[in-house]
Structure 1
Amino acid sequence: MPQTDIQPRLIEMAKAYLVVRMHGQINVPHWATNTLELLKLDKKFRATIVPAKDNTLGMLNRIKHYVSWQEADLNITKELFNKKARKSGYKKITDDDLVQLGFKSIDELASSITEGKTSMNRIKPIKPWFALSPPKKGFKRSTRKTYGEGGILGQNKELAELVRSMI
């Protein structure tokens, strides 16, 4: 039997995911509510950045009818931290807060979160979510279908543009 050279496929896994809750709190089953609470997505139009671990994709696939997600991009992460990151009392974060966390700038914090080195839950004075508004000029696709069916739910390749319109 001839020996064939089988090249292993190199699947580059994402290091972090940007997740946005698109569905409200009504008629959500308890198992989905528990998963959404674990991801710190308590309300509609909340966003967070979740580090990619073994169970992350499983959690996201389980609640795909309530959220949209995409691999985290450094530019959108910086934009979210600059405009929407808040600490307790809903106050904007300052350079002093970043120094206490051990970061020199928002760019350094954003790159650390995007690369999956730090999670949003570990940067304590900063809230682990971003409160977004509904998108300007509305949704271009259906909000009740998955991305593959022509909607916005589930793994969404166009989520970055949508989030920019929600900031």
Structure 2
Amino acid sequence: MIAAVLIRGYVRARKDVIETLRRLNLKRKFNLVILEERPEIMGMLKKVQHYVTYGKISEELRKELIQKYGEQKVYRLKPPRGGFKRSIKLLRPLGELGQREEMDSLIRRMM
């Protein structure tokens, strides 16, 4: 399973990016969606990588989310405790946006 979190708002974004974010159900900052890992979904995430961070999550974390928030399509999270470690304006590895390996730790800080 892939988790995607909207990090930046999309006020000045292109229309096709806004449409893709809406199709992914990412309508507000710090919204989290859990998606299947399919080529179509991965292509959509690549298109909006300047606005979201995404990566694989463990089944244990998915169960924690369901236990805390219930079964939902979109989870509304808080900003991460301790803040972001890097800039939210740059892609990985210099910034927080794009694909990441340690997605579990970020989501736990945001719960």
Aligned counterparts, 1:2-151, within 5 A: 16-85=1-70, 126-148=71-93, 150-151=94-95
Aligned counterparts, 1:156-167, within 5 A: 156-167=100-111
Matched position secondary structure for 1:154 = strand
CA separation in 1, counterparts of 2:26 and 2:69? 15
Note the C-alpha offset of 1:140.
1.0
Task: Mark the runs of 5 or more structure 1 residues left unpaired by the alignment.
Answer: 1-15, 86-125
TM-score, with structure 1 as normaliser: 0.63
Instruction: Select the structure with the greater relative contact order (CA < 8 A; seq sep ≥ 6).
Output: 2
Percent identity over the alignment is 32
Structure whose CA Rg is larger: 1
Displaced runs of 4+ in structure 1, greater than 4 A? none
TM-score, with structure 2 as normaliser: 0.92
Q: Deviations over 1:36-84 (max 9, x none)?
A: 1111110100001111222111111000000011113112111211123
The structure that is strand-richer by fraction is: 2
Note the C-alpha offset of 1:158.
2.0
CA separation in 2, counterparts of 1:34 and 1:27? 13
Match of residue 154 from structure 1: 98
Note the C-alpha offset of 1:29.
1.5
CA separation in 2, counterparts of 1:52 and 1:159? 15
Task: Mark the runs of 5 or more structure 2 residues left unpaired by the alignment.
Answer: none
Q: What is the RMSD computed on CA atoms of the aligned residues?
A: 1.2
CA separation in 1, counterparts of 2:36 and 2:57? 9
- Aligned pairs, how many? 111
